[in-house]
Structure formats: structure tokens, C-alpha cells
Amino acid sequence: MGCLQSTQDIAGETRRRPKSIGEIVVFVPGLRIPMPLDFSEPIGDGLSKSLVERLSALRTRIVIMAGQEAPMTTKPRRTATQHGGSTLSDLQRALEDYLPVLLGLVENGNKLKHNLQFCWINQEDDVEETTMSDSWYEVLSVLHLMAVLLLSEANYLLLYNTSADGYQSKAFEECKREAIDIFLKAAGYLDFAVQQVLPQLPLELRNDLPLDLTEGVLKALCLQALGQGVEIQLGMAIDSSKATMAVKRRLACEMVKYWQQAQGYIMDLPLANGWGEKHKLFIKWKQVEAKAIAYYLHGLILEEGNTEGSAEIAAAALQAAEEYLKESKRACESFHLAPPISRNPPLWGACKYLAEKIPENISSKTINWDSRKHEMIMQVAPALPDFMLSLKPDEYQLPSIHPSWNGL
């Protein structure tokens, strides 16, 4: 049975709380940082000296690198930091190197699974740090950090966007394709954590996990990754002369479903501090934004219909799009003003299309539409089509246990 220890005071000066994080395309919660751990005393003679040293060296490397990287996760991407500091890719490799060795503590009923006190600094929970004596908690924390690092990498890639005159380079098109792959990989880590790692923890420990690692937050992050992947696909479809309006509408409707599901998992969680509250506001903003573009595309398709009342239904959809656009602008402002303060990069893809087309096309089409309160407009808006979700998390499996455990 693992035990738990949490404190709100000890890690206060270690937890990163920047005042401003610059431009954001992808929301990235602050990095959870592992605290130093001495493997030798609690393990005693249970493992060989070389294996203890390997575990200690690999984890210490992550402690140092995560501490260096945490304040920089939303800064412009770097290929290397000054004074030989780590990069995101270096930290990702360090985690990948550590995981196979760590798994020796949890596989095959290892009696040492509960001997170590793993401590991590939280970001979305009011409790500053959480310590648990269960090696599955360490595995869960590692997978979460690996996923968050990928979201950071996607954010950097997508910040290489249009220039001031709206020009998009071929390099940026490649960045968008790469970002989709990164989102699916991050979703794979998170989905595996929910499906395979959380059930390994006793119920009492699952109930005491920090909010950062609760099932709701993990699922919301997973769905966020998938939703942002579809958003890129939609932007590429909008820029393509070959994509039909039906294809664009389907992608927009799928995007709405991803964000609605994410909202459902996170809305009732007590995420009240900086990162947690900002996380909620981001999902709310993206959900409303997705509805605006979905209703707009749906309205354009309805306009082409010849059935009785199709014009009125189309007008209702377009009016809903306009209302959701107004609401999304307010939600966007609330998100960026919430600490840590952030800002939008230049618009591109679906967001640029939304900002340009809805005001341009709707005003003339709904000019005779009676002015209604927001709630009444939503009541008469037609339902969006329901499509099966196409993007799925990449399949992920834990690596094999490191050979250093052979014979133990």
C-alpha cells in the first residue's frame, strides 16, 4: 500500500508561476517537476549497486533538466540554451531512458514498489507538491510530463506562422503536418495513462492524486490534443481548393465534439489557481470558437438546399455563428488575461477564416433577422450534424524492462 504526503509550503519557491508566457497556440500547463530522491537508503541491499546508481543518475538528470526547462516551456523554440542547458528534446530523451529502468520497480510484483517516496511539484493543484510511495505514481508522472513536453513542442512549431503580410511558407505547412503527428503521440501517452496506469494505483491513492494527474484532467488534455489536431486539418482543408464544403463542415463538427467532451471532463474540477483556471478558460474558448465555425459552414450548406424553410434554417445557423463568434472573442480575452498572461499570435488557418468570413458574409445575409437575446438565438439554431470522430490517439505501449534487471 502506498502512502501519501502533500505540502503547500515546502515547494512554494520551486513551483514556477510566470507572470507572462507570450504567444500561445496550444495550451501547455506548467511542467510538473520531480524532486530529488536518494535511491540507496530505502532500497538497501535489495538491488545491486550498479542498478541503484543507474536509477539515481537517470532520475537526477531529469530533476535538473526539468527544473531548467520549466520556466522556458512557452518561450520561442530553442535548438540549445545558454551554458549547456537542456532542450525539450533532451528532456524527452531523458524520460525515455529512465522509463525502462523504472519499470523494473513495478513489474513482476517487485517487492520494492512501495519502498521509495516519489515527490513531484504540481502545477494545476493548489497543493504545491505530492509524494507517494508507489512506483506506478512515478510512471504516471513520467507519462504526463512526456505528453506535456510534446504539447510544448507543438506550440513552438505552430508559432512559426504567417508573416505580417499573411504569407505562409512551405516550412510552416510542414510544421502543421508535424504538429498533427505530435498531437496524436501526446494523446497516446495520455490515453495509455488513463486506461492502463491509473487502474494500477489503489483507489485511495487515485483519490489523493493531484488535480494535474486526475482522470478528468488527463482525458481533457488528451481530447485537447485531438481537437487541436482536427483544427489544423480544418485549416488545411480551408486552404485547399480540392476540399468540399461538406468536408470542411465535417471537420468543424468533429472539432466541436472533441472540445465539448474535454469541457465535460474538466468543468467540475476545482481548478482554481493560475494554470488550472487558465486550462478551463482555454477549453471554454476553443469550444465556443469551434461552434462558431461549425455553424457558419453548416449555414452555408443549408443555404444551398431547396426544401421548404431551408432559407430560414440557414439564417438561424448563420446567426448562431455570429453569436458564437462574439462569445469566442470574449472567451479568448478572458483566457489571455487570466494569469499567467498570454496573447494570440497572428491569425492563420481556421481562426483566420473565422475572423474574416463571418463578419463579411453574415451581416448582409442576416440583416433582416430580428434581433434576439443570445439564449433565444441558440434556441432556434438548428442542431449540428453528428459525425464519428476520426482522429484517435496513437497506440502506445510501455517499453520493455531494461536488461539491467535481468536475473534479479
CB of 27 closer than 8 Å to CB of 224: yes
Closest alpha carbon to 252 in 195, 291, 288, 308: 291
Identity of the amino acid at 311 = A
Mean pLDDT, range 189-196, rounded to an integer: 98
pLDDT of 150-168, one tens digit each?
Answer: 999 999 888 865 444 445 5
Per-residue CA distances from 258 to 209, 219, 225 (Å): 25, 11, 9
Per the structure block, which three cell numbers stand in for 119?
515527490
Q: Is the pLDDT of residue 6 over 70?
A: no
> Which range has the top average pLDDT, 351-355, 381-385, 398-402?
398-402
Closest alpha carbon to 134 in 112, 104, 114, 109: 114
- For residue 175, what pLDDT is reported? 87
CB of 223 closer than 8 Å to CB of 265: yes
Identity of the amino acid at 54 = R
Q: What is the pTM of this model?
A: 0.88
Backbone angles phi, psi at 22, to 5 degrees: 75, -155
**Of 244 and 368, more confident:** 244
**Of 236 and 171, more confident:** 236
Residue 356: count of CB within 10 angstroms of its CB: 11
- For residue 367, what pLDDT is reported? 40
**Of 252 and 373, more confident:** 252
**Of 73 and 56, more confident:** 56
Q: Is the pLDDT of residue 282 over 50?
A: yes
Mean pLDDT, range 90-97, rounded to an integer: 96
Closest alpha carbon to 142 in 393, 346, 396, 404: 396
